[in-house]
Amino acid sequence: RYISTFRPSVKHEIEKNKAQWKTMGPTKVAVPSPKNFLQKHSKEPKLPARKEQQNHKKLPALSVPRRTDVPVMGIRSQKNFINTNAVAAITRLPKKPQPICVDKRQGDKYVLETSGLLPKYIKKKDYGVTPKYITCRNEEMKRAQKEYEASILENLKKNAMKRLSDEERISLLQGLKKNWEEVYHEFQGLSVKIDTIPKKIYKGKLESQLKQLEHDIEVIEKHKVIYIANE
């Protein structure tokens, strides 16, 4: 039987690169020590140790006296309150009486200033003055009205009406009558029996032309003065 000469080297490389735990596991397994047993609360998270505050912050000063503070006793003021009160009462301006109103027989009194009966608003500086927003709005409205009127005048100038002269009116009337005679001549030339659709359509077209021409002739004959728009 043939045996390769590279068999030992291949075997050695396979054993060298093969992990032990890919087949039956490692040859020697470390046995845990009986001292390392699971203890109570051993898996709970632990907080870091508290650091002692080196820099003690000063407490804010209290606005009230402490319990241990003793009030200062024996201090007397040299001010004569009786004389100062008397001088203040003499030099003080007299107090104006508060205006009141009585609206019932029983004499029920109400302060007039807060009752709404006193027209204080007429004493304001801006009383009767038109607010700024209203003046601005009125100016805008006037400007828009002027622009609108200017545009209308411009359109009227462009589309100004022109009066037809008597010669033009007579020539227009004659032309309409001549057209009516031509259309009427074509209408009389129609066949007596109109049995096809094209004949019916042509007859209706001629009739509508005749009606329109008759209406135009009647309008021009009725109105002696005619205005037309300049295009």
Whether the pLDDT of residue 23 is over 70: the answer is no
Length of the chain: 231
**Residue 223 covered by a domain:** yes
**Residue 176 covered by a domain:** yes
Q: Which residue has the higher pLDDT, 9 or 160?
A: 9
In tens, the pLDDT along 102-111 reads 877 787 888 8
When divided into structural domains, the chain yields a total of: 1
State how far the alpha carbon of 81 is from the alpha carbons of 46, 70, 73, 90, in Å: 70, 27, 20, 14
In tens, the pLDDT along 126-146 reads 888 888 999 999 999 999 999
**Residue 221 covered by a domain:** yes
Q: Give the amino acid at 159.
A: N
Domain residues for the domain of 216 are 162-228
Q: Work out the angle at residue 225's Cα, subtended by the Cα atoms of residues 219 and 228, and round it to the nearest 5 degrees.
A: 80
